[in-house]
Structure 1
């Protein structure tokens, strides 16, 4: 089954598939792409690009990759995940944010919107935003970019209006150099489960503030686990005009909208 074909409207997690020991999905869809890429004469430049021909980053060779299946925005999405890395797992905030995006497409007006996702992980939120018509830049730490790009290409190549871009983003580092305000403007900044028990919350908040310009909307979804999560929320409210959008009690996820305060 082609993951780019429409499926039944049943948002959420569909289950687990077989593992792929070398870190690459071995599916009929990929085989078809590879065959398409090698067919025809050598001089034929009208062929569609293959997944591997566009892959710039190599996924980390974890031993425990599995295929997880999700259904959002009418599409069956295949995500390569590994429990060996926090950045290679879909967390509850991501599925909640995907559900919110697909349920409010007209209100959010995502068609052709410019979106950057902070801490994209294995890429589910960025994939759903792309399916909904947005121009997406998915960012994360260097070690997860290979798996992130693989999942994005796997689920959006030749079936979305805009092919997502992948960029490295280390919170609080090289922001002006890598994302100059004169060049980069985003309608939305998306973040899900980026706040947890660690020591980089100040850098995360400064990164959120930097990426927002007048008119930029921050959508932040998070499972609230620790007291530090609520402390971050208090700091978030100090710099963002904050609206509580939704709550998912079964997963303890809350979703907030923020627009930067301009004094």
Structure 2
């Protein structure tokens, strides 16, 4: 979930992570070394090495408290560092619903080697699950979220995903062509969960969704519907996307939609 509330960033590592800024990434790299001196899974060492080298090293925001929450998807135990001090550092119901759908429909979606962009990735659970299922994932959010997001992505995918997820800053509706030129960036899937809630950036969110959808792109959007404005956004969404309700989760009031951009 993108968070449109600024929070002070302090360059300190958190929890049980090493105190040297970003040294957790170095620790993970060392932890991935095999006996033969290569990195990552056998046969894929050069790919993961290049991915690590190309990663920006974002520093996690220094919130007063973090918790370690455990999830199980795609046959893997996933440990997410969360903090209730930021909307963008918490796993919301739409994320768990989308993860459940991804793991239960692997044959239909065929995520292996597909290119995925997640809008408002938050602490990264959805991007982690998509990566474990074989996708090449770019996880995006606002700057103050990226440190914790990258920490969770690397620690949960380094040894069990063919493609290490990338992390990029994305402010909805701003500098899209400059930062993600369509001539260079194409995505098979756009993923979004609980990005629609009570904030003032819904029009920019819709603009961003439309921008990233090119011919052949499938948008999967899971959301807990809380307010009348959520349904107003859904009405606008249906005006520009051919929309299919894929699943409902009554216990959490989450609906999952597939959107295909309408082309004139």
Q: TM-score range by the shorter chain?
A: 0.7 to 0.9
For 1:125, the equivalent position in structure 2 comes to 126
TM-score, reference length from structure 1: 0.84
Looking at structure 1, the residues matched to 39 and 220 of structure 2 have their Cα atoms a distance apart, in angstroms, of 38
Indicate whether 1:259 and 2:260 are aligned: yes
C-alpha displacement at 1:158, in angstroms? 2.5
Where 2:127 maps in the other structure, the secondary structure is: helix
Is the contact made by 1:23 and 1:63 (CA closer than 8 Å) also made in structure 2?
no
Structure 2 partner of 1:63: 64
**Superposed structure 1 runs of 4+ greater than 3 Å apart:** 24-27, 29-40, 44-49, 52-55
Q: Is the 2:90–2:122 Cα contact (8 Å) retained in structure 1?
A: yes
Once residues 94 and 108 of structure 1 are traced to their aligned partners in structure 2, the CA distance between those partners, rounded to angstroms, is 17
Give 1:47 deviation, angstroms: 5.1
| Structure-1 separation of matches of 2:145 and 2:245 | 30
**Aligned mates of 1:30, 1:171 — CA distance in 2:** 28
Q: What residue number does 2:138 align with?
A: 137
Alignment of 1:135-214 (within 5 A): 135-214=136-215
Q: Is the 8 A contact 2:28 2:155 kept in 1?
A: no
State how 1:76-91 maps to structure 2 within 5 Å.
Answer: 76-91=77-92
Give the TM-score normalised by the residue count of structure 2: 0.84
> Closer, same or farther in 2 for the Cα pair 1:26/1:262, shift >3 Å?
same
Query: Unpaired runs of 5+ in structure 1?
Result: 1-20
User: SS in structure 2 opposite 1:90?
Assistant: coil
What's 1:23 paired with?
14
Deviation at 1:216, TM superposition (A): 0.3
The Cα shift of 1:148 comes to 0.3
* SS in structure 2 of the partner of residue 231 of structure 1: helix
CA deviations over 1:113-164 (Å, ceiling 9, x no partner) = 1000000000000000000000000000010000000000000002111110
* Corresponding residue SS for 1:97: helix
Query: Distance in 1 between the 2:117 and 2:76 partners?
Result: 21
Structure 1 Cα separation of the partners of residues 91 and 60 of structure 2: 16
Q: What is the root-mean-square deviation in Å for CA atoms of aligned residues? A: 2.7
Question: Residues 199, 105 of structure 1: CA spacing in aligned structure 2 closer, same or farther, 3 A cutoff?
Answer: same
Structure 2: distance between partners of 1:187 and 1:128: 16
How many residues are treated as equivalent by the alignment?
Answer: 238
Question: Is the 1:22–1:63 contact (alpha carbons within 8 Å) kept by the matching residues of 2?
Answer: no
Report the equivalent of 1:16: none
Paired residues of 2:25 and 2:154 also in contact (CA < 8 A): no
Q: What is the Cα deviation at residue 39 of structure 1?
A: 11
Moved more, 158-167 or 87-96: 158-167
SS of alignment partner, residue 123 of structure 2: coil
**In 2 relative to 1, CA 225–115 (structure 1 residues): closer, same or farther, beyond 3 Å?**
same
Q: Closer, same or farther in 2 for the Cα pair 1:137/1:30, shift >3 Å?
A: closer
Q: Give the conservation status (yes or no) of the 8 Å contact 1:116–1:137.
A: yes
- Measured in 2, the distance between the counterparts of 1:254 and 1:38 equals 42
Partner of 1:224: 225
